[in-house]
Structure 1
Amino acid sequence: MLLPLVGVLLLGGVATAGASIVTVVLMVNTAPLALPRLCGVLALFFGSSAAAVYCYGWLSVTLGGPFPALCDDRTGSGAASAGVVQEYWPLRSACVYADGATVEHVSVSVNVLVCLTAGLAVVLACAGVVLRRRVRPVRDGRANS
């Protein structure tokens, strides 16, 4: 049940990121550039990118990652393989051996990329809110407060 949902979230994140890029290009080509709206669209882009990267990593962990081909039967010290550990946050697949040694196969770069893009989305959303509050719309020749 969860596997198709994560797949749909992955496709939705990729589609939303693509639509966000098109929207940014169209916004930049128009004459009056609304900075709060641009921040909002960029926040949507980075947020959907973070969701897509996390769902990709989640699917790679769930579907077995590079296993069993990369797990050796024994370590250099001769310890036998005890199993495979999978965690979903942080995304991690590891071969565990009898002596306690682990060999991770999903890189940290996926987690760094997810945290970086999600952090940028939060910062841009906050910047958009601050800019929106600073810019007062003018109606009927006077500023609203």
Structure 2
Amino acid sequence: MFLMGTLLAASAVTAVVAIVVVLIMLNHPPLPPARLCALIALALFSSAVAVYCYGWFSVTLGGPFPELCESGNDDGARLMVIKQEYWPLRSACLYSDGSTVEHVSMPINAFVCLLAASALFSTCASVYLRKRNRRSSGVTS
């Protein structure tokens, strides 16, 4: 739990610092596009890690649902166990009659995937721009 808390804090701070640096870069041209894309990728990836850690804590500490599992279901079956999975982030209530009630934190999962995919795209764009810049500077020299 300490490791996830540390990771949450570090990724949140990294995301904020990367966003501030991007904003500073936008206000002071000339703007190197490869570095800008790399910083955007860092901000997006750090945000994805922070959101995932938040979701992890949410699942570990009982989920974003006020009453995660009731002691019995509508048919009178007793709660046997609460099963937690960390990817995708979800909690499942397993009852004695074999029924299961799942609580899936879909917005968190979708947001993490969106941020990670955007970070990957931005990283690829940064690599492409850097290679293109090196190729064009090598031809003119």
TM over 0.5: yes
Displacement after TM superposition at 1:53 (Å): 0.8
Give the 5 Å matches for 1:45-56: 45-56=43-54
Contact 2:79 2:93 in 1 (8 A): yes
The Cα offsets for residues 8-47 of structure 1, whole Å up to 9 and x where unpaired, read as 1000111011101101110101121111111100000110
The 2-side partners of 1:131 and 1:121 are apart by: 15
Gaps of 5+ in 1: none
The 2-side partners of 1:44 and 1:60 are apart by: 24
Q: Which amino acid aligns with 2:114?
A: L
Give the 5 Å matches for 1:111-126: 111-126=109-124
- Which of residues 7, 13, 23 in structure 2 aligns to 1:9? 7
Normalising by structure 2, report the TM-score: 0.88
- Which of residues 21, 39, 42 in structure 2 aligns to 1:41? 39
* Aligned CA-pair RMSD: 2.1
Displacement after TM superposition at 1:135 (Å): 1.1
Name whichever structure is richer in helix by fraction.
2
Gaps of 5+ in 2: none
The 2-side partners of 1:110 and 1:94 are apart by: 16
Q: Which amino acid aligns with 2:140?
A: A
Which moves more between the two structures, 19-28 or 65-74?
65-74
Structure 2 SS opposite 1:72:
coil
Kindly tell me the number of residue pairs found equivalent between the two proteins.
140
- Which of residues 88, 97, 100 in structure 2 aligns to 1:99? 97
Which moves more between the two structures, 85-94 or 65-74?
65-74
Displacement after TM superposition at 1:77 (Å): 2.4
Question: Is 2:140 the partner of 1:143?
Answer: yes
Normalising by structure 1, report the TM-score: 0.86
